[in-house]
Structure 1
Amino acid sequence: MKKIGYYLLFLGVMACGSGASNTSETKKSPNAFEVIYKSTYNGLPQKKYYVIDNNEDLKVLFSQMKEDQVPAIDFKDSNVVVLNMGQKNTGGYDVYPEKILDEGNTIVLTIKEVSPGPGDMVTTALTNPVCVVKVNSKKEIIIK
């Protein structure tokens, strides 16, 4: 009898919804972005988050990062977002895309910045965290 009670309780809990409804145009976009380059040391000294929409600017970026191989990107249907944290005095820093939302006319790319906590064991070298992200859309990109 206890098993039946637990089973019914489980079904009751599973049947309950939050009651929230998402009727707006905002949609999560699976496979909407891809990290094409990430480094702890090869970023640029100044903090800057920006969009690249052509091969020439992408080549310049990779040249500035002292990288010989530039990824092949079809800019007819994609853009590239550069997340450059700037120079840091220690390790333990990171930046990466957390989620991407299609809001109709725009794409909202939410990023996550990671910093070392007090007392964390980190390298004492200068670092320049950078993450380069291919976004599979030509819509305007808002970086949050």
Structure 2
Amino acid sequence: MKRETTSIIIAVALMLIMGIISYLLVTNQIGDNASNNQINKGKEVHFTEIKKGITNDITQKQTRIIKSSESWSDLWTEMFPTEMIASAINFNESMVVAVFQGQKSTGGYDIKINKIVETSNKLLVYITETPPGKNCIVTQALTQPYNIIQLKHSEKPIEFIFEQKINECD
């Protein structure tokens, strides 16, 4: 009799645990949609694009958060050693986020910051990387796609969320 009671208790506990897990999956509290669900718990942040292009001297894939004039000047010099100095930014009020796709062997690649969402404890930066599909006619030249934006200064940590969408060129 004692074994049957123990078995029933274990079975009920397992069913309860499975029910909780199912609920969390359905309501996007865990799993692949957990980051997407954070959008509903935050507010979209306004930003301004500073510069976007396909050629610069940064050849590695990376992200940068710039919060000082010195860092901004250093980044600009690293990207464009022969160009004039970068535009002035008030880093007491603003900061800069830059994303670099790294060096690519052809044209047809793109990187874009789509949106930024502020949650209670961080900023989520949503980025789309677009490689050319097999049917695309692309330039046969080295490219280094990048996107640089300016937004209101924040001390919250930043999480970068990358998505890839192939341009099929059909």
Moved over 6 A (4+): none
CA contact (8 A) 1:26 1:103 kept: yes
> What code does the residue aligned with 2:146 have?
V
In the superposition, the TM-score normalised over structure 1's length comes to: 0.76
Match of 2:160 in 1: 143
Match of 2:56 in 1: 42
Cα offset, 1:43, TM superposition: 4.7
Q: Give the whole-Å Cα distance in 1 for the aligned partners of 2:116 and 2:100.
A: 18
Cα offset, 1:97, TM superposition: 0.8
In the superposition, the TM-score normalised over structure 2's length comes to: 0.65
Q: Give the whole-Å Cα distance in 1 for the aligned partners of 2:78 and 2:158.
A: 23
- Identity in percent: 34
Match of 2:90 in 1: 74
| Residue-by-residue CA offset, 1:52-102 (whole Å, 9 max, x unaligned) | 111111101111122313121111122211101110000011111111111
Matches within 5 A, 1:7-22: none
Match of 2:131 in 1: 115
CA contact (8 A) 2:54 2:143 kept: yes
* Unaligned ranges ≥5, structure 1: 1-21
Kindly tell me the number of residue pairs found equivalent between the two proteins: 120
**Other structure's SS at 2:73 match:** helix
Q: Give the whole-Å Cα distance in 2 for the aligned partners of 1:123 and 1:134.
A: 30
- With CA pairs under 8 Å and 6+ residues apart, which has the higher RCO, 1 or 2? 1
CA contact (8 A) 1:43 1:86 kept: no
| Residue-by-residue CA offset, 1:16-71 (whole Å, 9 max, x unaligned) | xxxxxx9x641123xx2111011211151111112111111110111112231312
Q: Which has the higher helix share?
A: 2
2:99 to 69, 76, 83: 83
* Unaligned ranges ≥5, structure 2: 1-37, 162-170
